[in-house]
Amino acid sequence: MSPGSRYARVLEQYRRLEPEGTDTWNPLGSERELVHRLALYEQIARALRCVPGEAAELRLLDVGCGTGRSTRVYLDFGLDPAKLRGVDLRPGAIELARACNPAVGFEAFDGERLPAEDGSVDWLALCTVLSSVPHPGREHLVEEAARVLAPGGVVFCWDKDAVHDFAGGGALKPKQLFAGWQVLYEEHVCVHGRIERLLPGGVLGRALGPVLRRLGPGATHRALLLGR
């Protein structure tokens, strides 16, 4: 199967969800998107704390960067924009990412070989990517991640617990995809409306939180930091 046909349904779906030249996932118009953004921000911060050394030194590759939303988050954590790169299947999204983030390197990805040299990446990000990619594309991305990672490099995954229907459906099991990799950080998060937003502050809120979370909706997303 060629990369073009492998990702045909993904590209068709994203042309509908986010037409070229647009950025449709704006948190001002969606409470769920707002909660998703806040949760992702928190999980990136916590995962970065697990990596030794200075964040500014990390060479980062954001795979499936879209219009650059998930890439530019890292600027808030002190990463050097000259060491940030984002790749995506959609040329129109890449054009918008370049226009909005001229200090960051963005380029199109053909779905086959990541545009990065062997061992040249310290942090590879997969933000809501694996749930959007059909088999065997997911397995291929894992192989490519292993190729481009430098010694001591890590993969950060943030994704749903289920594969989108347009990518084949079913449960997403990233730890099986990355079999043999070391889990450095893992957190399960519900982004349908985090119960913590409804709790009082102080001791009472901290006491009620674990109880209400068990009674509330289950986790919808997972953050994983993986090393080889």
Query: What is the CA angle 75-138-23, rounded to 5?
Result: 45
Q: Report the alpha-carbon distance of residue 105 to residue 123 in Å, rounded.
A: 15
Q: Give per-residue pLDDT as tens, 114-140.
A: 999 999 999 999 999 999 999 999 999
Q: What is the pLDDT of residue 117?
A: 97
Q: How many other CB atoms are found less than 10 A from the CB of residue 131?
A: 20
Q: Report the alpha-carbon distance of residue 206 to residue 189 in Å, rounded.
A: 17
Q: Give per-residue pLDDT as tens, 177-219.
A: 999 999 999 999 988 655 455 445 555 545 555 554 444 557 8
Q: With 90 as the cut, is the pLDDT of residue 64 above it?
A: yes
Q: What is the pLDDT of residue 159?
A: 97
What residue segments make up the domains of the chain, in order of their start? 3-227
Record: fold of 3-227 = Rossmann fold (3.40.50)
Q: What is the pLDDT of residue 219?
A: 85
What's the pTM value of the predicted model, to 2 decimals?
0.87
**Residues 26-56: b if buried by 16+ CB within 10 A, e if exposed:** eeeeeeeeebbbebbeebbeebbeebeeeee
Between 19 and 99, name the one with better pLDDT.
99
